[in-house]
Structure 1
């Protein structure tokens, strides 16, 4: 069997559904082999960075390895930002790059550079395949490493001469991995810490979404009545409609909900990742809080994050066992049943924080001023999307507004890149989401800066007949940078730019374009966009960027 055919057979064995990428001379053998697959669909994109972002979002939404492909040299370097993004956001992907023949790799040759060295710091594992016989083992290992906690990126280089070799080997069968249970002693100790606590709180992170632990976490909170908060990438693990959920934290200056975290005497972190939100923001006072760390892996080392108890293993199994330990030590335990004065006082404060956050979310629900206020825009979008529709946020000031204001009811329905935080993420990601979930509404929320970084993928969406909706927040400014410059340095510099006519731009690609001129027209236009069944829709709307200052206000002016 030709090596490139064997490689594709290995991808089929791993249940790969899509390969996102751009063909190149050194990947032609592999691409031709993919074209012969009955189960893998090649998705041609217009920039390799977009291919990596698509693989990233596919990995997040399916918990399977997303695959992207590029040629050598500039193709590989173009992949790098998207690969780094997936790795730091813990999304499982495999990046495949072509390479010149092995007899040329030791010297200067056309487009030759060493991508293995380049990808080393931004992947979990990278390897150059030098022998066709090793392909089954190497591909199996790449997928296994990408899916092991913490999930992330793997990279394989396939030189053109290796792709043309022959091999008698066959793909390795992937094996189902048994989830590791946790120590009964640790769970008993955790239960004792919770029962003795005056003001426990749960901090939920991205690990709960990656490992599909939402139901177990919700059950823990429903049974115990413990209040909770989530990180940006933990949105949806707990429904924002829960009466004991205080929403999203992650903007240290403006987290009104951070008051609750600072009042807590015990923080139970579940799937929490320090890359998202530094513990220094909520655990910098002396004495430091008691912490129970729940995750698949042990805690990172940090001066402000030194858990009293680390419980490593399957999150769902661990939480279910914790509930049994709680019931064994104190049947019917519920924090609201406590007669301790400090607990009663703290719970009243938590309730008032919840009420105030709700008020702030809906304060401008009926405001018709224009340019539209961020709060109003997000409320209108939430009102018109179903609970399981998918919103994907790009990176910029709008990301912070979405994290705080957009109510999320199910996991993986609000996708935010909050580790590497690369602009240009949302449009490619939305295309991948709509490909995988065609029956769901998919909205990309972009700033006018980030949207133009990967605007070429509108052609991809048009060609594939993927009717994603892109809402572009227009202020002709790099809003978050501009605001922070003004607040910290007294003025903003080099952040202003001019925008194209977004309607004409969308139409030039074959998409549908709208420009909202009045706030009261926005919902009607969005409703019209939802009716598109084959064409992507771009909606440009001017945003009241003056409100971005609230993102960095402290205390009573915090946004939620």
Structure 2
């Protein structure tokens, strides 16, 4: 094999099913190696879309998604999606081409220092400069990308290395690195703190979903009666139909989840990253704080835990549950607390989230109950970034982990359509991409990719001819907005030009019918919702 063929054989050994990317002159050996492999190569319309597809695939499956680009502009286009995976903790392996190494010491056409450029947004990244190390580079890229906390890695393959024969063969895929169980003393201390608290509360972060800790969290909540407020990326860790769910940290018209935090006398964060939600907004004051995660807490004045349990998140919760059960069996008081202190807040959140629209014109908020009704518990909603994301995070109930995909680390616009494509290929469930008009047009060309692959997800486009979230913030700060207005094409005609079914409902009844038909169908469908009309 040559080096490119060994790299592709390594992808096969890792169980990779497809690679998303754009072709380039410098990746020719890689492309023809993919042609002759069992790995499907998916040509996309923009490298950012390729990275978002790999990103969401990794987030939903736990297996690193793979994206490919050439050098120069291909790599810079890829960068945003890789950076998004970095702050969203999604396992991803990016592969880029490069010019011959002999040209790297001087200015050269399309040549940038890609390894240095990717260094700030990857867990590990390197150039394959020696054909005899390609198997190690590939194995390390997947190993590092997939262990906690997961994230992107990057391999650069220069053109003059790709075609060189190599004697090495792919290293076998191994069982993932095991996360440590908590020490008994820490589990006992946490159980004791919970048992002594009158108003304990849990904040569930991305890690509670990512590490499959949902069942353990549900058992913990059952044992303690503690309410749970999730971050945007922790939605579904505790099903929102559980009476102890307070939805997200920004839930409710009056910030009820934050009110609950201010009432609590103990806050336990589970799999939380401060990049998800600034702790300074919680107003913790002197409330005791416990950090449960696979790595220590970031050093931050507003997030200074009294106790840190650094171990596997699910194993920690199971150990604490066992300690609580042992306390009950020994005649202790147990850890079950009264729910009177947060039940009123839960009631407000639920009534606000599930209320039907009370206006004739379309709104994102009014559309969410209908969307929730037409989707099954296991169906996946992929949200783009904008004002609609805030409404989805606050008001869309999630009933299972990984069923509401929100980017809130880097929070990059343009993720919804390529992300939904990645989701549609990764899960056996219905998928909906919810996006504003601004984010939609950033990667709308991936409709062609989705159509070519015979995908069957639904794209829900909220059109307001504006970068609405920025307008809202400007109006709040200055009483007016500037620089946010945009124009749009006829989205129905635009989608139909790609061979995509499309509809523009004119009433709430028509919207409900359109969503029911689109989600139930085996077709790729776009539903345009003109806001305020």
TM-score range (shorter-chain normalised) is over 0.9
Q: Give me the whole-angstrom Cα distance separating, in 1, the residues matched to 2:20 and 2:334.
A: 49
Q: CA deviation at 1:330?
A: 3.7
**Residue in 2 aligned with 1:374?**
364
**Residue in 2 aligned with 1:462?**
451
Q: Give me the whole-angstrom Cα distance separating, in 2, the residues matched to 1:19 and 1:477.
A: 34
Select the residue among 526, 530, 536 that pairs with 2:515. 526
**Residue in 1 aligned with 2:394?**
404
Matches within 5 A, 1:409-558: 409-437=399-427, 439-533=428-522, 535-544=523-532
Q: Give me the whole-angstrom Cα distance separating, in 1, the residues matched to 2:35 and 2:321.
A: 50
Q: CA deviation at 1:123?
A: 1.1
- Confirm or deny: 8 A CA contact 2:9 2:170 kept in the other structure: yes
Q: CA deviation at 1:362?
A: 2.3
Q: CA deviation at 1:174?
A: 2.6
1:24-47 superposed Cα distances (whole Å, 9 cap, x missing partner): 100010011011112x11111000
Q: CA deviation at 1:373?
A: 2.8
- Confirm or deny: 8 A CA contact 1:238 1:409 kept in the other structure: yes
**Residue in 2 aligned with 1:209?**
209
Q: Give me the whole-angstrom Cα distance separating, in 2, the residues matched to 1:295 and 1:493.
A: 42
**Residue in 2 aligned with 1:307?**
305
Q: CA deviation at 1:374?
A: 2.3
Paired residue secondary structure (1:509): coil
Select the residue among 337, 344, 351 that pairs with 1:352. 344
Aligned residues: 530
Q: Between 103-112 and 128-137, report the one with greater CA deviation.
A: 103-112
Q: Give me the whole-angstrom Cα distance separating, in 2, the residues matched to 1:366 and 1:86.
A: 35
Q: 1:238 to 1:2 in 2, by over 3 A?
A: same
Q: CA deviation at 1:199?
A: 0.9
1:230-270 superposed Cα distances (whole Å, 9 cap, x missing partner): 10000011000101111111479952211001111110111
- Confirm or deny: 8 A CA contact 1:240 1:409 kept in the other structure: yes
Q: Give me the whole-angstrom Cα distance separating, in 2, the residues matched to 1:146 and 1:531.
A: 35
Q: 1:129 to 1:317 in 2, by over 3 A?
A: same
Q: 1:251 to 1:80 in 2, by over 3 A?
A: farther
Q: CA deviation at 1:290?
A: 0.8
2:37 is equivalent to residue 47 of structure 1: no
1:165-219 superposed Cα distances (whole Å, 9 cap, x missing partner): 1111111123222331111011111111111112110110000111111111111
Q: Give me the whole-angstrom Cα distance separating, in 1, the residues matched to 2:174 and 2:283.
A: 41
Q: Give me the whole-angstrom Cα distance separating, in 2, the residues matched to 1:327 and 1:223.
A: 8
Q: Give me the whole-angstrom Cα distance separating, in 2, the residues matched to 1:509 and 1:407.
A: 32
Q: Give me the whole-angstrom Cα distance separating, in 1, the residues matched to 2:261 and 2:365.
A: 24
2:382 is equivalent to residue 392 of structure 1: yes
**Residue in 2 aligned with 1:553?**
none
Q: Give me the whole-angstrom Cα distance separating, in 1, the residues matched to 2:517 and 2:384.
A: 23
**Residue in 2 aligned with 1:192?**
192
Q: Between 411-420 and 512-521, report the one with greater CA deviation.
A: 512-521
Q: Give me the whole-angstrom Cα distance separating, in 1, the residues matched to 2:290 and 2:183.
A: 14
2:321 is equivalent to residue 323 of structure 1: yes
Q: Give me the whole-angstrom Cα distance separating, in 2, the residues matched to 1:379 and 1:328.
A: 42
Q: Give me the whole-angstrom Cα distance separating, in 2, the residues matched to 1:541 and 1:179.
A: 45
Q: What is the RMSD computed on CA atoms of the aligned residues?
A: 1.6
TM-score, scaled relative to structure 2: 0.97
Q: Give me the whole-angstrom Cα distance separating, in 1, the residues matched to 2:348 and 2:72.
A: 53
**Residue in 2 aligned with 1:256?**
256
Q: CA deviation at 1:359?
A: 1.3
- Confirm or deny: 8 A CA contact 2:231 2:276 kept in the other structure: yes
Q: Give me the whole-angstrom Cα distance separating, in 2, the residues matched to 1:262 and 1:351.
A: 14
Q: Give me the whole-angstrom Cα distance separating, in 1, the residues matched to 2:383 and 2:351.
A: 23
**Residue in 2 aligned with 1:136?**
135
Q: 1:178 to 1:362 in 2, by over 3 A?
A: closer
1:92-141 superposed Cα distances (whole Å, 9 cap, x missing partner): 10110000011111112221111111111111111111011001111111
2:110 is equivalent to residue 111 of structure 1: yes
Paired residue secondary structure (1:122): coil
Structure 1: tracts of 5 or more residues without a match: 339-343, 546-560
Q: CA deviation at 1:377?
A: 0.2
- Confirm or deny: 8 A CA contact 2:253 2:352 kept in the other structure: no
**Residue in 2 aligned with 1:549?**
none
- Confirm or deny: 8 A CA contact 1:208 1:237 kept in the other structure: yes
Q: 1:106 to 1:412 in 2, by over 3 A?
A: same
- Confirm or deny: 8 A CA contact 1:283 1:289 kept in the other structure: no
Q: CA deviation at 1:327?
A: 2.1
- Confirm or deny: 8 A CA contact 1:392 1:443 kept in the other structure: yes
**Residue in 2 aligned with 1:293?**
291
**Residue in 2 aligned with 1:67?**
66
Select the residue among 349, 361, 372 that pairs with 2:353. 361
Q: Give me the whole-angstrom Cα distance separating, in 1, the residues matched to 2:414 and 2:452.
A: 20
TM-score, scaled relative to structure 1: 0.92
Paired residue secondary structure (2:291): strand
- Confirm or deny: 8 A CA contact 1:45 1:460 kept in the other structure: yes
**Residue in 1 aligned with 2:76?**
77
Q: Give me the whole-angstrom Cα distance separating, in 2, the residues matched to 1:458 and 1:366.
A: 30
Structure 2: tracts of 5 or more residues without a match: none
